[in-house]
Amino acid sequence: MSLFAPKFLLVAYHSIGSFDGRYRHITISLEMFQKHIAYLQKRGYIFRHFRDIPSYTKSDFQQRVVCVYFDDGFRSVLENAYPILKRENIPATLFLTTNYIDQKDVPGVYLSWNEVKKMSDVFEFGSHSVSHRKLNKIPFAEAKEEIIRSKEIIEEKNVIDDHLLDII
């Protein structure tokens, strides 16, 4: 183990697999995702949910800890990442853009609410906003409303019980 390896990592993804065109810039191959996971495992990282972070003590950070998360709610997370995470018993976080879930405009690209529910054995869920607006480019009150309303929608859908990450 290297003395310079980070003790705490946040590893972010959007889409896993293959996408042509529009989402190509935020998609990595399944093979590369598997290599990332294997690399972290080989180096002794312990995988945790975001919700576990506030309870960490100084001694917890003597270990190598990683939080894996996904943004938006792409179906490829269910099809490609979820089976690997489940098999390897790796917890992860999925930040949902609620207007994207059950979206009919682009069939097959985003998850349905039922699919989100199916992944609650591996994932905790958090709000990524309602409409994916650039929150740093809009007035604070609008940004706050995007996050609060997204959290309310997730709760209304009864997607989860205690798996909703509350960061507000």
The pLDDT assigned to 47 comes to 95
**Which residues, 6+ apart, have CB-to-CB distance to 99 below 8 Å?**
130, 131, 132
Q: Considering only the C-alpha atoms of the chain, give the largest distance between any 2 of them, rounded to a whole number of Å.
A: 49
Q: In this predicted model, what pLDDT tens digit does every residue of 44-84 receive, in sequence order?
A: 999 998 888 767 666 666 788 999 999 989 999 999 999 99
The pLDDT assigned to 163 comes to 47
Q: Please tell me the pTM assigned to this model.
A: 0.86
Give the residue-averaged pLDDT of 148-165: 74
Tokens 């093979």 sit on residue: 31
Identify the burial level of 101 via C-beta atoms within 10 angstroms of its C-beta, where 0-12 means exposed, 13-18 middle and 19 or more buried: buried
As a whole number of Å, the CA-based R_g of the chain is 16
Q: In this predicted model, what pLDDT tens digit does every residue of 129-140 receive, in sequence order?
A: 888 878 889 999
Choice between 102 and 41, residue whose per-residue pLDDT is larger: 41
Q: In this predicted model, what pLDDT tens digit does every residue of 73-110 receive, in sequence order?
A: 999 999 999 999 999 999 999 999 888 888 877 778 89
**Least confident stretch, 27-31, 73-77, 104-108, 124-128:** 104-108
Q: What is the 3-state secondary structure (H, E, C) of 46-84?
A: EECCHHHHHHCCHHHHHCCEEEEEEEECEHHHHHHHHHH
Identify the burial level of 3 via C-beta atoms within 10 angstroms of its C-beta, where 0-12 means exposed, 13-18 middle and 19 or more buried: exposed
Phi, psi (rounded to 5 degrees) for 42 = -60, -30
Of the candidates 151, 59, 159, the one whose C-alpha atom is nearest the C-alpha of residue 112 is 159
Average pLDDT over all residues of the chain: 85
Indicate if the pLDDT at residue 3 is higher than 90.
Answer: no
